[in-house]
Structures are given as structure tokens and as C-alpha cells.
Chain A
Amino acid sequence: MEFTVSKILWTLLGLFIVLNWGLIMGGTMRKIVARVGKRYGIPIYQPYIDLVKNYSVRSQITHGVMFYLGPVFRLSGGVGIFLFLPLIFGSDHWSNFSFSGDLILILYFQFFGMLGMALGAGEGGHPYSAIGVSRGLSQFTTIEVPMTLAVISLAVQYNTLSISEIVAAQQGGLANWTMVTNPFATVAAMLSLLGAFGHSPFDLVKAPNEIPIGPPTEYHATYLGVLRTNAAILHVVEAALFMNLFFGGATNWFELILKTFLIYFWSVFVGVVFPRFRIEQSVQWFLKIPLILGIIAIIVVL
């Protein structure tokens, strides 16, 4: 891991590309959902307009220091995952700042943003924020269990905690992908991914028509713009993380865009088919089949 000026510039360029792909992918998915509902839907570039609009809205409200810091922590979580995630296998420019123990750090960063947002939204003082935060934290805690079991299974299988080395071990064709060599871990992780992306049936945190908007109820203007920026980055990097762990990584940008699109589409596809769970159903669901599959994945590898 080197901290040269050119390395930092390449990483910033990568962040810019990921942000743009995240916005376009988000718009495309909303268009797909609209077509499923037989609507024409938004233009694909609508997330850009929303972002510009949100950044231009004025703000005259404060609820305290943590209210300011909530979106900042959330963005740090998304950008933090990006910084330590190798995007393109075999490329010096696009491997970012990945190192030998990056897998553990990325798992931590997934929770970091959510905890920061919980503190910020809690200071907003709106009851829906508190309900959304309690739901989000309890759901994500149960998501972490099968996801961590799957990751530990991979660490044992490949004998490493470096994402780059896990990707390197999967090169050489479809038969070497973790999807084929360790299907139990893949299924457990892909099921927990549904919860991580927060689409229906696990959209309990924002829960439209129930606790509208959820934690960001009080967030507006630039705060909301930062949250939306983070959402665009986070969707791509989380999909890229799963691509690296289970689907052979990517050797070029086209492969990355295709695979991240399909991985994100998986959660959208499930979302348009199934209606929302209640929180106790969601928690119980993650602690049944995904958890059992995660344990089997560990046993099989040992």
C-alpha cells in the first residue's frame, strides 16, 4: 500500500466513476421497478437532478452537532469501504488501498456508517427516526450473522483475509468461482445481501407508507444530498465486494459494471416480487435458513 500523489488521484478518479455508476444504476433500477408496475417511470438521469436540487436547497435548521455529523459518518462508511476495496483485479491503479487484512476492515465499515447515522438521526428527535434506527440496527445485527459466517468460511477456504488474494484464487474460469466451490457460503451471503441493500421485503428501515422515510425524516437539503451521494457509492461498492468474494472479481470496468448491476438487480428483483416483512418476521427469517446455510458452509470447509 503506497500513499503517492498519483495513487490518491487514481483513487479519487475511481470514486468519481463509482459515484456516477451508482447514480445511473439507481435510476435504471427505479425505471425497471416502474416498468414492472406498468408505469413509464423516471428518466434514468433523475438521480443527478435530485442531487443538484438537494444540494441547492437552503437549510435553516439544526438539531445539534451529531445531527451535522450523521451524514458525514454515513459517507465515511461508504467511502471507507471503497478505499479498501480492490475494484479491478490485476490493476495497480484501481486496487485502491487494499491490504492483507482489508476484509475485516470492510465488514467493520459496513456497520460504522449505520451507527453514525443512528446517532445523527436520533438527535433529530423525530419519533419515526427512532423507530427506523431501532429497526435498522436490530435487522442489520441479524444480517451480520450469516454474512460473517460466509466470510469466515471463505477465509478458512482460501486461508487469507485479503480480498485481492481471494479474487486471485478464483481466476481461471467459472469453475474456480466461490459460487461453484463454496455454494453454501454464496447462498447464505446472497440472502443476507437482500437485507443489506434494504429493498422489499426488508425495507423496514425506511418503510414507505408505514414510518415514512425513517431515520432521515429530519434530514433535508445538503444533509440529504450527502446521504444520497453515499447511497449511490454504497450500492456499487457493496455489490463489488460480493463480486470479489463470490463471483470471480472483475478484470476490467465493463465486467465490474455488468456484475455489480446483476448483483444489485438480484435484490431489486426479489423486492418487486415480495411484499414487506414485519421486523420480527425479518429478524426470524435471517436467523433460520441463511444462518443454517452459513453454519453448513463453515462445517463443509472445515
Chain B
Amino acid sequence: MKMKETDNQNKFLHEDIEKREVIAPDGSIIEIDPMQDYFCDARPQVSEPYKIKVVEKFLNWARSESIWVLGFGTGCGSIEIPPLMTPRFDAFRYGVQMRPTPRQSNAFIISGYLSVKTLKRVIRSYEQMQNPKYVLLWEVAPLTAECIGTVTIPLTGSICICRSTCTLPVACRAPKLYLPGL
């Protein structure tokens, strides 16, 4: 049974991410394990808040008023993200800004379905974000993710790779539906 599970996992792995030995420019042999080097296998942990409650409350207020978003645009929801910054919806007035780099982002919008291939990118992007970080999922995304057994919605109470902060209860309708989530 264990062997079967391993085989099942390996069939999704590209040969580039298999463990191998590489000769470095100085002639030494280096062992490379991309799954360990590129991905973190530790569970996400909740950062400890500051001990002084007033300070933590103040910082939380600042975090809520200055949300920098990394958009992971998959599926139909991705087309709804750009209009957020247009005059009609203007998310800037709530302190929401789009950042193209995960290092500077606080909120991670996953706007659509996730396949095995895109899930790897999601995890790498998520792990590059710094704490405290928040994830916003459209309904379609976690439902699809549940099927492949890696990311699940809080409703099912299962283990999450991305700790989902907010799940929007509707499928892609309009950009304004992002705003309550943010």
C-alpha cells in the first residue's frame, strides 16, 4: 500500500526535481534534492504576536489598512483582479496595492482552480511571502484543490498547505466581490 502511494506521487514529479548528484565548477560533487531545496516541508506556523497588546492592536490596524496583494491569476477569476485598480472600483482608497513580488506582499489571491502544476507555483510563491500573510481564495479554487487532496477549505477542517484566511462564498461574478474579502 505504501509503495503504491509513492508510485502515485512520483508519477507527478518531473525528472528535473528528482534527487541527483551534480559536479560543481570546482570539481566537488554536490547532492541536490530539489524537493527539499526548493520547497519547505514544514507546516505553516502562526507567528507569535507582540507581548504588549496595544502595540499588536496598532500593528494589526496598520496591516489591515495597508494590504499589498500578490495576484495568482488562474481561471476566470484572474480577469476580475485588474479592474480592482480602475476608477470604478479603486481598491487603492482602502490601502490595497498590487505587488508583483511575493516578498513584499501580505495577501495572496488565488482566483481560480489549481492543477498539480500550478499548485507547485502557489506553494513556492506562498513560501516566499513573509509573515504575517493572508490567503484569499475564490470558491472554485479550494474546491478543485480538495479533489487533489492538498489544499482544502476551512469548512472541511482538513490540513491546509496555504492557511486560508478568507474564502469568498461566490464564484467569479464581479471585481467588487474581492473588496469585502480584502
Contact = CB atoms under 8 A, between A and B. Distances in A.
Interface of A: 34, 37-43, 46, 49-50, 52-53, 56-61, 208, 212-213, 216-221, 224
Interface SS of chain B: loop
A220 B92 contact: no
Nearest to A48: B62
B103 A217 contact: yes
A146 B13 CA distance: 57
Contacts of B92: 34, 39-42
B90 A40 contact: yes
A37 B65 contact: no
Contacts of B100: 208, 212-213
Contacts of A219: 103-104
Interface string B90-107: 101101000111011010
Given A49-B62, A49-B95, A52-B62, A213 B132 contact: no
Contacts of B63: 53, 56
Contact of B95 (A46, A220, A221): A46
Contacts of B104: 213, 216, 219-220, 224
Given A39-B92, A216-B104, 19 more contacts: A34-B92, A39-B87, A41-B92, A42-B93, A43-B93, A46-B95, A53-B59, A53-B63, A57-B106, A58-B47, A58-B130, A58-B131, A58-B132, A60-B131, A212-B100, A217-B101, A218-B101, A218-B103, A221-B130
A213 B62 contact: no
Interface of B: 47, 58-59, 62-63, 65-66, 86-87, 90, 92-93, 95, 99-101, 103-104, 106, 130-132
A57 B63 CA distance: 9
Contacts of B58: 52
Nearest to A37: B87
B106 A50 contact: no
Contacts of A58: 47, 130-132
Contacts of A50: 66, 95
B59 A60 contact: no
A57 B59 CA distance: 9
24 contacts: A37-B87, A38-B87, A39-B86, A39-B90, A39-B93, A40-B93, A42-B92, A46-B66, A49-B65, A49-B66, A49-B95, A52-B59, A52-B62, A57-B106, A57-B131, A57-B132, A61-B103, A208-B100, A212-B100, A212-B101, A217-B101, A218-B103, A220-B103, A224-B104
